[in-house]
Amino acid sequence: MRHTPGPWFATTENTLPSKGAIEIQSEYGSIAHVYGGECPDDETQPNARLIAAAPEMAVELRERVADCMCQHDSIRHPDGCNQCENGRTLLARIDGP
Ligand SMILES: [Zn+2]
C-alpha cells in the first residue's frame, strides 16, 4: 500500500482556503479537496464520501480476494473466480505500475 492509510473522512469544517470544497482528511492530515466541478451539486457530497471510503474499500477488497473460496478449489477455479479476477484488476489500478 502506497497511499495514505485510512480511515479518511469528508468534512466541510476546514475548507479554507478552498471555500466551497469538501475536504478529505485522514489522521495524517488533509488528503484532498473535492469540488463540484461539472457534477450536479447534489452529487458533490456523495462523491466526497465515496473518495473518503476508498482506503477501507481497498482493504476490504484485498481481504476478499485473498480469502475467496476459489483459492481452495483449484479444480473448479484453476485461475480463480470472476470476482477475484475483477478484484485483482481493480487492485492493479489502485496499486499502479
Ligand atoms: Zn475467488
Any domain includes 3: no
Cα–Cα distance for residue pair 44/20, rounded to 1 Å: 11
How many domains is the chain built from? 1
Q: Is residue 28 part of a domain?
A: yes
Distance 1 CA to ligand 1 centre (A): 21
At 39, phi and psi to the nearest 5?
A: -80, 150
For residue 71, report the distance from its CA to the centre of ligand 1, in Å. 6
Assigned domain for 64 exists: yes
Query: How do residues 53-86 score in pLDDT, each as one tens digit?
Result: 999 999 999 999 999 988 877 787 777 899 999 9
Q: Does a structural domain hold residue 1?
A: no
Structural domain of residue 69, as residue ranges?
A: 8-95
Question: Domain for residue 90, yes or no?
Answer: yes
Return mean pLDDT, the chain: 89
The CA 77 to ligand 1 mean position distance, Å, reads 8
